[in-house]
């Protein structure tokens, strides 16, 4: 009887312990789920900076948590703590990526572009075939390898093919095809370079094979656009070309709001580009002015020792011209490009002009002013005050590099043109952090 009572008590104790363990494990699991679901998450898409294609299988690490990007380049890491974190990306064939970012509560989005490394994206490189001589009777293998090399060249990114062409020391044409109305790159545009056909990539870029001729006829076309056609001179190495395609009236009026009556006027100049050349001389002595900066529209050039300049790739029509030449100050005028080749000589009067720079240095993350930042332009150096403001006076008209630096922040350097009495420049400095590799 005692034995049965003991067995009954043991059975009751076992049942109670089982129920308690089940309750505890269920509560812990529920708490775990709530913690994972209610934390901070970071997500984004990883792409290749050259080809804009998604990068799958990239190792992503944030604050000790790791994951890999899927076939669409998408990654997500949850359970993070709000504040500054360092995100690291590693993928064979690409440069290691590391950046300090700030995340807040909820889901944070951060897209990343990886640069191809020393082993990355070799499909677009032109390399020497080191497979040795082809044995007799392997004509099919020779044809297959030749076709593969051509396909690799077409598939490779523009940057890689430019690098390959530079290594070979060839002359070639590289360019970008852009919608003239919206400024958006046009992909899959057909470019005919003296009978050779190329197509622009997702960024609107293209590159030709090596060209041995001194000039080439180029024609670019895409559905819903007027065709572009021009004849350019081929110089040594890379020949850059910007192609603007004007939308057809029925497409432009519907999607860009352009007035149909003005489209004819715009399209007159969409077929060809113009160039302009001339001499810059002293108005009194007629001697050439060298190293003067000539700016026409968005293009620029420097005069040589004879005061001669040439600016190519200009849209036909009216354009502003600016010349900055040290003690001569700044010359401003207007020209009308009515021909493919135009001449324009300019005389400058010696009259040295000076300008000033004012601005504010602030912290990029918080917007707070930075006190004591060093600002340098030419041989002039000042520091920002307690409000982050600075002022530099008596700067001769010319082009300069503006340098701003302060301990604990990343150094900033930007090109600056002094061409008026006062220029305002506001600078944001980002936190400096130790790059993790």
How would you list the strands of the sheet with 205-207, edge to edge?
205-207, 172-179, 238-245
- pLDDT of res. 127: 38
pLDDT in tens, 78-137: 888 888 888 999 998 888 888 888 888 888 888 888 888 754 443 333 333 444 443 444
Which pLDDT score is estimated for 120? 42
pLDDT (tens digit, 9 = 90+) per residue, 306-324?
A: 999 988 877 777 788 888 8
Residue 437, beta-bridge partner list: none
- Write the pLDDT tens digit of every residue in 171-209: 788 888 988 877 788 888 889 888 888 888 877 888 888
CA angle 78, 81, 86 (to 5 degrees): 85
- State which H helix or E strand residue 14 sits in: helix 2-37
Q: Which residues contact 144 (CB under 8 A, 6 or more apart)?
A: none
Of the CA atoms within 13 Å of residue 416, those in its CB half-sphere come to: 27
- Look over the chain and give the mean of its residue pLDDT values, rounded to a whole number: 75
322-370 per-position pLDDT tens digit = 888 877 777 888 888 877 778 888 888 766 677 889 999 999 888 899 9
What local confidence, expressed as pLDDT, does residue 341 receive? 78
For residue 124, the model assigns a pLDDT of 35
pLDDT confidence bin for 374, thresholds 50/70/90? very high
Model confidence, pTM: 0.28
Q: What is the CA radius of gyration of the chain?
A: 32
């Amino acid at each position: 009887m005692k034995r049965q009572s003991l067995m009954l008590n043991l059975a009751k104790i076992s049942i109670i312990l089982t129920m308690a363990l089940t309750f505890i494990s269920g509560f812990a699991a529920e708490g775990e789920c709530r913690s994972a679901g209610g934390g901070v998450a970071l997500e984004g898409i990883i792409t290749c900076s050259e080809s804009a294609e998604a990068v799958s299988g990239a190792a992503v690490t944030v604050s000790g948590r790791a994951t890999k990007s899927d076939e669409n380049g998408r990654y997500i890491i949850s359970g993070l703590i709000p504040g500054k974190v360092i995100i690291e990306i590693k993928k064979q064939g690409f440069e290691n990526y590391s950046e300090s970012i700030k995340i807040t509560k909820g889901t944070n989005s951060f897209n990343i572009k990886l640069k191809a490394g020393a082993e990355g994206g070799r499909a677009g490189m032109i390399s020497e075939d080191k497979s040795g001589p082809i044995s007799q009777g392997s004509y099919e293998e020779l044809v297959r390898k030749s076709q593969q090399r051509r396909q690799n060249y077409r598939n490779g990114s523009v940057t890689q093919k430019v690098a390959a062409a530079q290594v070979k020391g060839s002359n070639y044409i590289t360019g970008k095809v852009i919608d003239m109305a919206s400024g958006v790159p046009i992909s899959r545009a057909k470019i005919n370079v003296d009978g050779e056909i190329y197509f622009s990539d997702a960024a609107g870029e293209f590159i030709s094979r090596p060209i041995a001729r001194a000039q080439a006829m180029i024609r670019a076309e895409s559905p819903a656009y007027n065709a572009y056609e021009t004849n350019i001179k081929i110089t040594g190495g890379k020949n850059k070309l910007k192609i603007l395609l004007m939308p057809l009236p029925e497409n432009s009026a519907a999607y860009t709001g352009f007035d149909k009556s003005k489209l004819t006027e715009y399209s007159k100049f969409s077929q060809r580009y113009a160039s302009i050349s001339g001499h810059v001389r002293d108005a009194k002595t007629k001697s050439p002015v060298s190293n003067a900066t000539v700016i026409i529209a968005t293009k620029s050039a420097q005069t040589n020792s004879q005061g001669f300049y040439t600016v190519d790739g200009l849209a036909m029509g009216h354009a502003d011209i600016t010349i900055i030449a040290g003690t001569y100050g700044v010359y401003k005028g207007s020209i009308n490009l009515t021909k493919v080749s135009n001449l324009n000589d300019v005389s400058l009067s010696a009259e040295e002009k000076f300008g000033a720079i004012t601005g504010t240095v602030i912290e990029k993350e918080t917007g707070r002013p930075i006190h004591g930042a060093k600002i340098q332009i030419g041989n002039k150096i000042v520091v920002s005050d307690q409000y982050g403001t600075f002022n530099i006076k008596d700067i001769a008209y010319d082009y300069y590099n503006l340098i701003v630096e302060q301990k604990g922040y990343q150094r900033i350097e930007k090109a600056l043109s002094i061409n008026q009495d006062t220029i305002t420049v506001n600078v944001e400095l980002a936190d400096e952090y130790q790059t993790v590799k």
